[in-house]
Amino acid sequence: MQLGMVGLGRMGASMTSRLLLGNHAVVVYDQNPVTTAASAAEGATGVASLEALVSLLAAPRAVWVMVPSGAATEETIAALSAVLSPGDTIVDGGNSNYKDTIRRGELLAARGITLVDAGTSGGVWGLTEGYALMIGGEVAAVERLRPIFATLAPAPDRGWGRVGPSGAGHFTKMIHNGIEYGMMQAYAEGFSILKHKTEMGLDLAQIAELWRHGSVVRSWLLDLTALALRENPTMAGIAPHVSDSGEGRWTVAEAIDLDVPAPVITLALLQRLRSRDTDSYADKLLSAMRNQFGGHAITTVPTP
């Protein structure tokens, strides 16, 4: 199937690679011509503008937007809407706020353009492992893009699905990320307690590896934690600064709006805010975990 891909960062470039491996025809554009050229070298068709991208796609067109949420997504979708035609589809695969998605969908619908929101999870491992895709939008539009979703997902019959109407994909991904905050915090705190029991000389990497097999707390996140501990058991050189990209805050705000108690997710968010002021082994490990699954940059401690 033919698809346009706008945005070739960590996720967009890897998704393009996976689509090319699935024999899809991908036309790519990024503001950085170097990343566009890199995808073109793999077999994509690189272009220097959104207009050029749209001109090379056969109607009805499908363009996947993979740029940072907020202003970048707003501007990109607005620019695309000016050059696309009725019957075309835009897929927003970023971490947009679902309320913005609903609003954008309504604006695009007035022009005859369909917006599909695809909450995307998988991080830097998605190229090899596949991406979990939580999709919102019209049934017909989602079905038309089934070959794309089936290729990006871990398997054609699992790891992806339409979860509801416009905005539902991003809403589901928002809650997914809130849960992720809580799980990461629990692992980090538990390993910090183990580390502080110094008289036992516990090997945290060994324990993480042990828990990966048969334990009720085993998970892919634990797999990545074990990898981080093998590579750097003391978290040396990692500053205890844990960033957040917004979804946790939105999840907590939604819980408050719905009168749903979410103390674990809320406290996990607050711990990230606290990490910016004090030193903590747990926060260093959180930073390492984010790097393992999402390729997020680690804030390092300057060498004396």
113-158 pLDDT, tens digit per residue, is: 999 999 999 988 999 999 999 999 999 999 999 999 999 999 999 9
Q: For 126-194, give the DSSP string.
A: HHHH--EEEEES-HHHHHHTHHHHHHHSSBTTBSEEEEESTTHHHHHHHHHHHHHHHHHHHHHHHHHHH
Say how far apart CA 206 and CA 137 lie, in whole Å.
Answer: 45
Say how far apart CA 76 and CA 95 lie, in whole Å.
Answer: 14
Fold of 173-294: N-(1-d-carboxylethyl)-l-norvaline Dehydrogenase; domain 2 (1.10.1040)
| pLDDT value for 244 | 81
| pTM across the whole model | 0.88
Encoded amino acid at 219, one letter? S
Tens digit of each residue's pLDDT (9 = 90 or more) over 186-241: 999 999 999 999 999 999 999 999 999 999 999 999 999 999 999 999 999 998 88
Tens digit of each residue's pLDDT (9 = 90 or more) over 70-123: 999 999 999 999 999 999 999 999 999 999 999 999 999 999 999 999 999 998
The two beta strands, 132-136 and 62-65, are: unpaired
Tens digit of each residue's pLDDT (9 = 90 or more) over 228-287: 999 999 999 998 888 887 899 999 999 999 999 999 999 999 988 888 866 778 888 999
Q: Specify whether domain 2-165 bears CATH 2.170.190.11.
A: no
Say how far apart CA 6 and CA 29 lie, in whole Å.
Answer: 5
Average pLDDT over residues 41-50: 98
| pLDDT value for 282 | 83
Domain ranges of the chain: 2-165, 173-294
Say how far apart CA 116 and CA 86 lie, in whole Å.
Answer: 15
| pLDDT value for 8 | 97
The secondary structure element, H or E, covering residue 105 is helix 98-109
Inform me whether the pLDDT recorded for 302 exceeds 80: no
Point out the residues that are catalytic. 173, 180
* Joined tokens for residue 287: 């930073």
Please state, rounded to an integer, the average pLDDT across all residues of the chain. Answer: 95
| pLDDT value for 299 | 85
Q: Report yes or no: 226 and 205 within 8 Å, Cβ to Cβ.
A: yes
Say how far apart CA 208 and CA 190 lie, in whole Å.
Answer: 11
Phi-psi region of 70 (alpha: psi -120 to 50; beta: other; left: phi over 0): left
DSSP 238: B
Q: Report yes or no: 240 and 287 within 8 Å, Cβ to Cβ.
A: yes
CA angle 46, 50, 56 (to 5 degrees): 60
Q: Report yes or no: 283 and 184 within 8 Å, Cβ to Cβ.
A: no
Closest CA to 244 of 300, 184, 188, 187: 184
Spacing of C-alpha 259 from chain mean position: 27
CA angle 138, 179, 224 (to 5 degrees): 110
